[in-house]
Structure 1
Amino acid sequence: MTDSSVTFHGWASTGSVQLQPWSYHPRALGPRDVEIQISHCGICASDIHTIKGEWGPLVQGTCIAGHEIIGTVVARGVDQAEKFAIGDRVGVGAIAESCQTCEYCTRGLDQQCAQRTFSFNDTYKVEQDEHRRGVTYGGFADGVRVPGDFVYKIPDAISSAEAAPLMCAGSTTYAPLAHHGAGPDKRVGIYGIGGLGHMALQWARAFQAKEVVAISTSDDKRDEAKQLGATRFVNSRDKDSMKQASGSMELLLVTSFGPDTDYNELLSLVANNGTCVLLAVPEKDISLSVSSLLGRHINLTAWLLGGRTAIRQMLDFAAKHNVRPWIETMPMSDANAAIKKAMDGFPRYRVVMHTGVVEEP
C-alpha cells in the first residue's frame, strides 16, 4: 500500500551502472516509521556492485541504492513521536528492519537476523499486515521512509557530510575492532587503505592500540596512513617488509582485496593465537592453507556491518575522539559522475553526494 500524496525523486538503476532519474510513492507512513528529507548520502562499493547486478537481480528491476543516509525528520508515526522531533538530524545505515526478538537481535547482532531487511533492493519481512510490506529504496534520493528503530540521531559535533560514511564504512570497521578488543594490549593491522581501511586506522588509533600497522600494495598512501593513525607502514609487495612483519599482529582486519591477494601471506602477519577478520567480499572464493591456521591457532573470521547497538556506540565514540572519514562531496544531481569517481578509485577516501538541503547543526 503506497502513499500517493508523497513522491520521492531519486536516481535509479535498472541493472546498469548508468543511473536514471526515477520517482516513486513510498509505502504508507506506519506508526513505527520515520520520514526523512535527505541531505547527504555516501557511495559504498556495495551500492555499485548491486546496481550493476553483480550481486544478483534487482528486486523489482529498478533500484535506488544508497545506505549511508543523512537527513532531517519531516514526519513520524505515532509510536515514534516521543523518540524523534520534527527537524531532528538523523542517519540510516545498511539495515532498515529486523525482528528484534530473535537471539541475534537481542544480542545486538540484528544484521544476522533471518528477517533483516536491507535499506535498498530488499523487501520488508517483519510486518504482520501484508499491506505494510514492500520494497526498500535507498538514499540516492530526496527522501526515504524507514522504521524508526533503525534511525539514529547524529551528534552535533559531526557534520552531515562526514556522518554519511559513518553509517556503513564507520560501523563496519568499528564493530569488529570493538568486538575483538582492539586496545593497549593489541597490535592491530589494517590491510587496504581505502574507504574502509582509512576508517579502521582511525578507530585503532582511538582505541589506543599498542601498534597500528597499515598494510598497502604500494607506498602511495604511506604518509596519509600515518596521518590517519598508523604507527608503522608495510608495503605488501615488499617481501623484506612482509617478512619483518611476520607474526607481529594480534588482530588483522582485511578491508580490501585484489586479483592477486595472497591470503596465506596475510595470515603470516598474524601472531600465534591471533585473529584475522575479513571485511571485504572477494569476487572469487579464496584459497587458504589450513595448516597455517591449525599450527598457530589462528582464528579466521568475518564481519558483516554493525548492528544497532554498535552504530549508536560508534557515533558517540566518533564524536568524542574526533574520528571522521576523509570525503569528497558532489551534488546528487551529478550522481553518475559521482558513481564513476567512486568506481575509478579516485576519492580520498569516500564520495558523499548532497541534495543541496542545508541542515547542519
Structure 2
Amino acid sequence: MTRSSILHEYSLWIAAAVAILLLALSSVMAFGPNWADTHAGLQPNMATLPECARPAWLETTAHPFAVEPLIPTPLPGEVRTVGVKQGAYQEYEQIPAPTAQPYTLRWRIGVGIPEKNPLYFPWPAQRPGWYLNWSTGYTVTRTLAQRTDPIRMEAPPEIELGMDFYPMVRTPQGRLQPEPALLAQLAAANPGRTWLIGNEPDVEWQDNATPEQYAYGYRCAYTVIKQSDPTAQIAIGGLSQVTPLRLIYLERLWRFYAKEFGQEMPVDVWNMHAFVLREEAESWGVRIPPGLEYITQGELWDVADHADLALVRGQIVAMRRWMQEHGQREKPLLISEYGILLTAAYGFDAPHVNAFML
C-alpha cells in the first residue's frame, strides 16, 4: 500500500516492509543495448501465448476512486494534506556491502522504498538484504511512442548496495503492467530473481482484481517469466491482510485456478500483508474484496486495533495454517508489507510507529 495521501513524515516507516524470505537470490545483472541479439531465443511469442489469452466474460468496468477511503473521516481540527514529492533528491554516498548470505538475518529482512531509488537513503552497514519498490524498477524510454525504437532500461543500483531487488508486476483487473513482451525481456535479462505478481488484488484502489481476473493475470505472468528465465522464483501478490473474509477470496482464487487450468496454482513463494484495517462496505479501511460484493462486512476493526501486534501475529498464523491445509507448508512465506497507516491525530505519533515497526 503506497498511499501518498497518508504517508506524511512517516513515509519511510509506513512503506517499510520487514519480511521473512527463506530463499537465496542471484544478483546477476546482464543488461545492455544488444539484448535482442544476445537473448533472441528467450522471448516468448506473446501473440500466440495461450496462457495470456483472456475470455470476454472476464472484463469488467473499473471502480473509479477520487480519494482512497483508507482512513477514517478526519478528526475535528485535523488538517490532512497530500504528500508532495520533492523536486530533487540527494543521493547519499553509499558504504559498499556484500550481498546477504542465505539464512542470515540480513537475508530475511527486506524494506520497501517509497521513492523507488534506494540511493535516496543512507544505509548502515547492517542494512536489509533486499528491497522492493512496487515496480519492476526500470526506467523505460522511447524516442517516439509510435516507433519501435530500442528500449533503454536503467537497472536499480543494487550491486553497490549489497541489497537484492525484488521486482513487482502490477495486475490491475488481471492485466499485466508491464505488458508481457516487456516483462519477458526483463526476466530474461535478469535471471534468478524473485518476482512479486500483483499488489493487493483484493483492494479496489490497488490492483482491484476479482479472484478470476487475478488467476488469469498470474498465469500469464508466471508463464512469461518462467519461459524467459527458468531460474526465476514467482511470488503470489500479497493480500492486504489475512482475515476470514480475505481467505474466502484466496480460497476462491485457488479453486478457480485448479478448475479453469487443470492444475494446482504454481506458487514458489507465498506472500502476504499484515495490516489491521476495517472490512466493511462503504467504510474506511480496505472494504470488501472485488468479486465478493455479496458480503457486506468482515473484521470490524476500529482505530484502536490498528497497532495491535497480537492481531498481526494472528494473521501470520492464519496464513501458515492455510498453507499447511493446501499442501504449501514447506514453501517460504514473505511478509512484504505491514505498518501504521493512520496519522498522529489518531494517536500514532513517531514513537508509537517506531515501537510498532521495530
The TM-score bracket by the shorter chain reads under 0.3
Q: With CA pairs under 8 Å and 6+ residues apart, which has the higher RCO, 1 or 2?
A: 2
- Provide TM-score, normalisation by structure 2: 0.25
Normalising by structure 1, report the TM-score.
0.24
Judging by fraction of residues, say which structure has more strand. 1
